């Protein structure tokens, strides 16, 4: 039976899958092509991947998180072109560091700075994705983005390997952060594991594996679960105006989710001077 679910599901992505792979799997399970994800994870990475189904794919722009939390493992003594263990090895060393050295450097990185985007990324330069330049062996000036490292905490330490947790602003590349930390330490290394433990209000403790979803052991989240937004029931007369995208008048909050008398979600409206106008039809 074809499932007509509208909602958001939090997936704990396993290693080896692309974000697109997860979208395709969910699409088959729910028998719908209307599936999207919010915030790409590399195949090496695991953890929180926010998936929207059917009408909720329209919510992606409202779900963009200003901050994300990661747990990253770093292995010293090897350098690759991708900045992680999946890439082509460019150099090897016997580099080791002390815990005091590392703590000093990590503390310095609680800051806002201009971070160079990794060459193996989907950022476009002159209409072409950076990884396409890399695969063709073409030189290109890598763009820089302003990022903020809000917190960083050492979780585990060995002289040739360490693990840290960080909370970062949207758009931060953890591979690039690791590269910059290692450059400051004067050693080489790569990201050997990465888990996104939180994206905005979505936490890994509330995430489901693909296996869970296949067995029907999951919960679809609704707008009221993910957005701090008032919910107002309307009459059939107002409903008619809403479903046709008309502006309406009334003493409403700046943003509101309108539902019909049966609780069916209709639209999200926002203030427009003295009126309310549609932001998102559901």
Summarised one tens digit per residue, pLDDT across range 236-263 is 999 999 989 999 988 898 999 999 998 8
Q: What does the alpha-carbon distance between residue 195 and residue 271 come to, in Å, rounded to a whole number?
A: 39
- Residue 2 pLDDT grade (very low, low, confident, very high; cuts 50, 70, 90): very low
141 contacts: CB under 8 Å, gap ≥ 6: 125
The burial class, CB within 10 Å (0-12 / 13-18 / 19+), for 190 is buried
Which of 5-19, 127-141, 225-239, 240-254 comes out lowest in average pLDDT?
127-141
CB atoms within 10 A of CB 273: 7
Annotated catalytic residue 275: no
pLDDT at 147 over 80: yes
Q: Of 226, 176, 251, 192, nearest to 48 (Cα)?
A: 226
The residues spanned by each domain of the chain are 7-65+201-225, 79-185, 229-281
The active-site residue out of 42, 206, 225, 260 is 42
Find out if CATH 3.40.1400.10 is the number for domain 79-185: no
pTM: 0.88
CA gap 37, 57 in Å, rounded = 8
- With vertex at residue 179, the alpha carbon angle to CA 195 and CA 196, rounded to the nearest 5 degrees, is 10
Q: Return all residues near 106 (Cβ < 8 A) that are at least 6 apart.
A: 152, 153, 154, 164, 181
Around 57, how many Cα atoms within 13 Å sit in the side-chain half-sphere? 12
Q: Do domains 7-65+201-225 and 79-185 have the same CATH topology?
A: yes
Fold of 229-281: 2.30.130
The CATH number of domain 7-65+201-225, selected from 3.30.1540.10, 3.30.2350.10, 3.60.20.10, 3.40.50.300: 3.30.2350.10
- 250 vs 74, 141, 227, 270, 276, CA distance in Å? 55, 53, 22, 12, 8
């Amino acid at each position: 039976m074809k499932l007509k679910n509208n909602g958001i599901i939090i997936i704990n992505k396993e290693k080896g899958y692309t974000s697109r792979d997860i979208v395709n799997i969910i699409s088959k399970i729910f028998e719908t092509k209307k599936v999207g994800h919010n915030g790409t994870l590399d195949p090496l990475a695991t953890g929180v991947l926010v998936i929207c189904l059917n009408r909720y794919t329209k919510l992606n722009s409202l779900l963009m998180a200003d901050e994300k939390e990661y747990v990253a493992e770093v292995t010293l003594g090897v350098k690759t072109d991708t900045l992680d263990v999946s890439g082509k090895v460019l150099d090897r060393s016997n580099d080791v560091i002390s815990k005091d050295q590392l703590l000093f450097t990590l503390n310095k990185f609680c800051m806002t700075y201009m971070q160079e985007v990794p060459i193996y990324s989907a950022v476009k330069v002159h209409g072409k994705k950076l990884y396409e330049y890399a695969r063709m062996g073409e030189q290109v000036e890598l763009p820089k983005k302003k990022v903020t490292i809000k917190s960083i905490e050492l979780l585990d330490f060995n002289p040739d390997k360490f693990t840290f947790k960080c909370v970062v602003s949207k758009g931060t590349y953890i591979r690039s952060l690791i590269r910059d930390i290692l450059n400051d330490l004067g050693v080489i290394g790569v990201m050997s594991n990465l888990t996104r433990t939180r994206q905005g209000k979505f936490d890994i403790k509330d995430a489901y594996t693909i296996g869970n979803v296949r067995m029907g052991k999951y919960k679809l989240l609704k707008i009221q679960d993910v957005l701090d937004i008032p919910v107002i029931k309307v009459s059939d007369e107002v409903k008619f105006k809403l479903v046709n995208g008309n502006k309406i008048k009334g003493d409403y909050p700046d943003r509101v989710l309108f539902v019909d008398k049966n609780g069916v979600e209709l639209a999200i409206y926002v203030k427009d001077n003295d009126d309310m106008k549609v932001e998102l039809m559901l």
